[in-house]
Amino acid sequence: MAPPSLVGQWRTVSDAGAQFMFFAVDGTCGEGDESTAGQTFCMPGTYRYDGGSLYITANHTTTNIPVTLENDTLTMTGLNDQLIVYTRANSLPSNRCP
């Protein structure tokens, strides 16, 4: 059985709006948010997933983010060890920042 894949679009929703991430087959990714007022921000980058760590490179800086990937749930450890839980929105293989 193949391990779950990061490829696709991921979302988490809060009172402030929605955060999203996408991961494409070619190693590109993006993360951002959509405010309740309809404004969208997206920062493009590249990624590598290895052994429970997600390495995202954006603006010439690589960040190691501990993650757990289980089926359609992606849990990341953020600042101050805050857990951020994303749900898979779809498994499209290629997405770009708007």
Look at residue 47 in the predicted model and tell me its pLDDT: 94
CA distance from start to end of the chain? 34
Tens-place pLDDT, residues 24-67: 989 999 998 887 777 788 899 999 998 789 999 999 999 999 99
pTM, to two decimals: 0.84
How far apart, in whole angstroms, are the C-alpha atoms of residue 11 and residue 45?
A: 17
Q: Please provide residue 4's backbone torsions phi and psi, each rounded to the nearest 5 degrees.
A: -60, 155
Domains of the chain are: 8-89 (2.40.128.360)
Confidence of residue 16 (pLDDT cuts 50, 70, 90): low
Look at residue 34 in the predicted model and tell me its pLDDT: 81
